[in-house]
């Protein structure tokens, strides 16, 4: 794709030549930082978060498992009525080598569906891939292969506006040994991870390089940066040390470690995001009270955001940093930390302090724009002045759900008359069906109550059908069609998969068979 002019920072959509055809105004055109958040959608929503924060989040982050089990509620992004981008973190629940091409095609199709109506997508595939606690972690050979396949699928159509974010976990704890999925000696992956060839994985090995798929296969780079506490088990409420985030960001926390920003953002000229970040406030899992003797929540969390999110010096020092995504969820502890919950949120008890500090740096950020505002963006076309659209460009207009649902763009009265003419036809058909159902219902009831009903009066295969469904022998018509024992006013048969209590995404669900029909009583 053609390279395009850069502005203060790399233009967000510089790799897309079709951004000017989008129906949602593009975000990231001002050369400023984007603020995002990963919310717990069970208890929170982007609309509620925007309301509390007083700004519209520019990136709304979500997670999707692979294979997909319970997809997130992507519609909550549309509910904000803004041009916010979506960041989808694909979390495999299988090893890298088990991922199928068809699964990657499904991911690409989902991204394309968002792009088709102008929604920007950041695809953070298999984040923290260098970590030994991830089932897909420390498998560089398969990771690079799968990554490149997915990247090719996403770039097969130049209209796609999905940016792949290569996002490891910051390397201060590398090689993350002793976890369930840590690389094993005498394997191909182990030898690739042993970057200094000393026969062992140690902090001296490169925590990132073995997983690099190549500069032509990465749009953005990202880094997960968290502070859980001073010592394991991390169950004490400690204030993060000064400059801790900066030292993790640059690799200075471990002598001789790779400077992530310098190598991947500066030298390889990739826009960068801190793709997940927070510091923790511990509370007990049962009473939600903090352990005694620790620092208070505001002091802990403000010490972290003041090192990065609201730190003007830090933001100006690293101009390739383009986005910061806050972790806004509560995690459950494990093993020695299992009695604790890890509260990473800043948009809760610390909201007032966070908003106050954000106000002082708000000019450094670009927030999502309400779709009620008409925003002209003409990017993706080189050689065109910023204040004048190209002659062949189509202006971006806010996405209108009502208009989007129609088959065409015309709003002429003729279409309305046609629609009005169809309404009586649908009503007539519906009433006819109701009448037919009523006739059939009373006919069946009459036959059931009539003692003369016999096997000869039913289709010859009726008993065979009932026998096959039940798996046993049925001796009479009355046993097969026991209408007398069914109370029509009280019996409710739920024909949905698995019944009313089932998980709608459970692949083991089953429909209610005729053999169980007569056993259901309310």
Share of the chain above pLDDT 90, in %: 57
Q: Are 95 and 139 in contact (CB under 8 A)?
A: yes
Top-confidence residue, 487 or 333: 333
Give the pLDDT of residue 28.
84
In this structure, are residues 463 and 477 in contact, taking their beta carbons and an 8 Å threshold? Answer: yes
92-112: pLDDT as tens digits: 999 999 999 999 999 999 999
Question: What's the pLDDT at 47?
Answer: 98
* Banded model confidence at residue 2, pLDDT cuts 50, 70, 90: very low
What are the Cα distances from residue 293, in Å, to 234, 283, 296, 298? 14, 12, 9, 15
Q: pLDDT tens digit string along 140-188?
A: 999 999 999 999 999 998 778 899 999 999 999 999 999 999 999 999 9
Q: Across residues 311-340, what is the average pLDDT?
A: 93
Name the more confident of 417 and 90: 90
Q: Which CATH code is given to the segment(s) 19-405? A: 3.20.20.80
The Cα–Cα gap between 234 and 240 comes to: 12
Are 191 and 151 in contact by the 8 Å Cβ rule? The answer is no
Stretch 26-31: mean pLDDT, rounded? Answer: 83
Mean of pLDDT over the chain:
76
> Could you tell me if 297 and 349 are in contact, meaning their C-beta atoms sit under 8 angstroms apart?
yes
For residue 376, CA distances in Å to 3, 387, 491 come to 22, 9, 58
Asked if residue 372 has pLDDT above 90, the reply is: no
pLDDT of residue 444: 54
Mean pLDDT of 36-54: 97
The yes-or-no verdict on residue 501 having pLDDT over 80 is: no
Higher pLDDT, 489 or 344: 344
**Percent over 70 (pLDDT), the chain:** 68
Q: Residue 266 pLDDT > 80, yes or no?
A: yes
**Global pTM value:** 0.69
Cα Rg of the chain, angstroms: 29
pLDDT at 278 over 50: yes
DSSP state of 369: P
């Amino acid at each position: 794709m053609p390279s395009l002019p850069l502005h203060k920072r790399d233009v967000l959509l510089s790799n897309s030549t079709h951004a000017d055809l989008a129906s949602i105004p593009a975000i990231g055109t001002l050369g400023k930082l984007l603020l995002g958040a990963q919310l717990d959608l069970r208890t929170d929503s982007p609309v509620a978060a925007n309301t509390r924060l007083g700004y519209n989040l520019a990136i709304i982050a979500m997670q999707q498992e692979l294979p997909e089990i319970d997809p997130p509620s992507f519609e909550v992004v549309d509910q904000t009525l803004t041009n916010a981008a979506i960041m989808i973190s694909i979390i495999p629940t299988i090893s890298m080598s088990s991922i199928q091409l068809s699964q990657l095609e499904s991911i690409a199709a989902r991204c394309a569906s968002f792009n088709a109506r102008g929604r920007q997508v950041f695809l953070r595939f298999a984040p923290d891939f260098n970590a030994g606690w991830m089932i897909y972690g420390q498998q560089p050979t398969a990771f690079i292969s799968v990554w490149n396949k997915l990247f090719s699928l996403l770039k097969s159509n130049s209209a796609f506006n999905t940016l792949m974010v290569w996002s490891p976990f910051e390397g201060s704890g590398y090689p993350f040994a002793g976890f369930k999925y840590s690389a094993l000696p005498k394997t191909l992956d182990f030898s690739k991870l042993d970057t200094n060839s000393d026969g062992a994985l140690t902090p001296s090995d490169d925590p990132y390089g073995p997983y690099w798929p190549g500069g032509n296969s990465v749009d953005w780079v990202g880094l997960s940066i968290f502070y859980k506490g001073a010592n394991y088990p991390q169950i004490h409420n400690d204030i993060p040390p000064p400059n801790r985030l900066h030292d993790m960001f640059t690799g200075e926390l471990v002598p001789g470690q790779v400077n992530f920003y310098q190598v991947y953002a500066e030298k390889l000229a990739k826009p960068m995001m801190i793709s997940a970040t927070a510091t923790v406030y511990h509370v007990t899992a049962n009473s939600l009270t903090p352990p005694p003797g620790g620092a208070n929540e505001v002091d802990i969390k403000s010490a972290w955001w003041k090192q990065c999110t609201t730190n003007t010096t830090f933001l100006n020092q690293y101009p390739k940093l383009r986005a910061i995504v806050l972790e806004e969820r509560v995690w459950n502890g494990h093993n020695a930390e299992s009695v604790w919950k890890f509260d990473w949120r800043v948009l809760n008890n610390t909201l007032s302090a966070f908003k106050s500090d954000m106000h002082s740096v708000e000019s450094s950020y670009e927030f999502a724009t309400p779709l009620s505002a008409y925003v002209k963006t003409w990017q993706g076309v080189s050689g065109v002045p910023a204040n004048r659209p190209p002659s062949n460009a189509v202006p971006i207009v806010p996405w209108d759900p009502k208009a989007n649902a129609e088959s065409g763009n015309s709003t002429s009265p003729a279409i309305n008359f046609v629609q009005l003419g169809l309404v009586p036809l649908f009503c007539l058909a519906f009433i006819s069906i109701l009448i037919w159902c009523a006739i059939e219902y009373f006919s069946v009831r009459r036959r059931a109550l009539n003692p003369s009903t016999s096997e000869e009066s039913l289709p010859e295969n009726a008993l065979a059908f009932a026998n096959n469904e039940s798996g046993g022998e049925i001796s009479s018509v009355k046993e097969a069609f026991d209408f007398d024992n069914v109370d029509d006013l009280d019996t409710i048969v739920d024909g949905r998969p698995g019944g009313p209590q089932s998980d709608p995404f459970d692949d083991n669900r089953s429909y209610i068979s005729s053999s169980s029909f007569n056993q259901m009583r309310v």
